[in-house]
Structure formats: C-alpha cells, structure tokens
Amino acid sequence: MNYELVVFDLDDTLLNKKHQLSKKTINNIKKLKKQEKNITIATGRMFVSALPYAKELEVNLPLITYNGAYVCNPTTHKIIYHKTIDENLVQDIIKEAEINDLHLNLYYGDDFYIEERNKGVEMYEEIAGVQGIAIGKLSANYNGEATKLLIIETDQEKKKHFLKYFKENYGHSLEITESKEYFIEIMAKDVSKKQALEKLAESLNIARENIVVFGNGFNDLAMIKWAGLGIAVANAPDIVKDSADQIAGHHNFEGVANSLEDIFEI
C-alpha cells in the first residue's frame, strides 16, 4: 500500500514516559519525510504544548490539537479550525466541578485557566510546558466559550463515576472522552481527532486507505478505526488494541519508531 499520510498521537504513543522523543523516533520520522510522506500530530494537548515536538520533527502540516477542536499551522500559526464549547455549557461544567470538588482546567486558545495553583497543577504544567493562569473561582471569574475543559481526578473510582455521569447528562451536547487514566476531556459536540483528520485528509486529497494512524487512548479510537492502517501501541487499553489493525511496541521502548521501519522499510 502506498501510504501518503502518517499521523501520530503524542503522549503515551510517540513520547516516552519522560515526555520525550527518542533520537531513533526523530530520525525515523525524518526518513519518512525523505520518502515524501506527509506527517502530522493529533493530540489532546494545547497547540502551544504540541508545537515544540512538531518543530523537532519538522512538521509543516496543520497540527490537530485539543482532540480536534483546534487545528493550526505550526509554521504560520494560522488557525485552520477552532470549534468552541458554548459559554452556557462552560458554566454548567464549571459549576458541576465546583459542587463535586473536581479539579478543572479550562482552555481557550493557547491559554489555560485554573482556580488556584497546587501540586497537581504544577505536575500538569511540567508535562505540558505551559503555565496556567490562576483567576480564583472560575464560576465567578470566567465568562465565555472554551476550547476544551479537562477534569483531572486521580481517584479512579471517582473518575469513573464522573466520566459516566458527564456522558449520561451532557453527552447529547458535548463530546466527552478520556486520554490518560485520570483525565476526563470535554469538547464541543462533534469534535474528535477523527473528524479533524477527515477534514485534513480531504484538503490534501488523500484517501483514508492511504493514511496510517498511531495512538493509544480512547480519544484515538475513532481515528484508529477510520484510517487505512490504524496502529495501537502495546501500552494501550485492550479495547483500543482490539480495534487496531496492528499493535506496535510499548511507547517506552520506541514502539512507533520500530513499527515505521517495518511498514516503510526505512
């Protein structure tokens, strides 16, 4: 098969546990470019958080960020697509988080807002490479739309309960998914990596059969199933792996880089 476009999730797929790209990963992706393959990133991260990796990999196609809510060119910073959550729904989720003692990150464009700084926020900032803006009680101090809302809950039982709760009560008007085991990701309705990838592929005149996707999370599931070759890394949940065409190695052991060697003979 003459694959033309290769799409990579970042966290727990392309990046190792230190949130780094290995030299082998960088070299193999650059070899793809020499074969004139198109490459890009599809991530739940903010655009500004994904940008350093795009620069390392010399990506010049639009980046799919915020799980598809924000698509932006990494060289010109021109916004191709930005779908936001309605401000009334934003307030609903803020109030739910405050009532139920859930930590909420609120994102708009390249900024994210929090009620106050704490160790959890600092850990997130270290991963994302972006500093949050503490504004006090969000329900009182934030008015407007949001690109994404992120609930961070390390108590797994509580996280599972509220993932189900939000899906049942807001699933008709919002897209609710999970990436890391302690993240509940909330976007506008009909936002997904798959939807954004479909639009990008159409703009490039590339058929889905000629697209390779690498991912690991539930937020990658739809695009893995849609692509001509959908690949899950070994550390992905079983549901994701069961839906993939192939399984690559673990993200900590250059699974994606090794898989690229097999597929593209590089």
- Rounded mean pLDDT of 238-252? 98
- Report whether pLDDT(237) > 90: yes
Please give the Cα distance from 112 to 157 (Å, whole number).
26
Site of tokens 């139920």: 100
- Rounded mean pLDDT of 216-236? 97
Q: What is the pLDDT of residue 180?
A: 85
How much is the mean pLDDT over the chain? 96
Q: What structural domains does the chain harbor? A: 5-82+191-264 (3.40.50.1000), 87-188 (3.30.1240.10)
Please give the Cα distance from 10 to 8 (Å, whole number).
6
Nearest to 59 by CA among 83, 26, 82: 26
Phi and psi torsions of 50, nearest 5°: -80, -25
- Report whether pLDDT(119) > 90: no
pLDDT tens, position by position, 24-75: 999 999 999 999 999 999 999 999 999 999 999 999 999 999 999 999 999 9
**Residue 232: pLDDT band by 50, 70, 90 thresholds?**
very high
Please give the Cα distance from 204 to 198 (Å, whole number).
10
How many C-beta neighbours within 10 Å does residue 96 have? 18
Entry pTM: 0.96
Nearest to 116 by CA among 89, 98, 100: 98
Query: Within a 13 Å sphere around the CA of 188, how many CA atoms are in the beta-carbon half?
Result: 20
Q: What is the pLDDT of residue 1?
A: 80
**Residue 179: pLDDT band by 50, 70, 90 thresholds?**
confident
Cα separations (Å) of 124 from 50, 155, 182? 14, 16, 12
**Residue 155: pLDDT band by 50, 70, 90 thresholds?**
very high
- Report whether pLDDT(241) > 90: yes
Please give the Cα distance from 59 to 50 (Å, whole number).
11
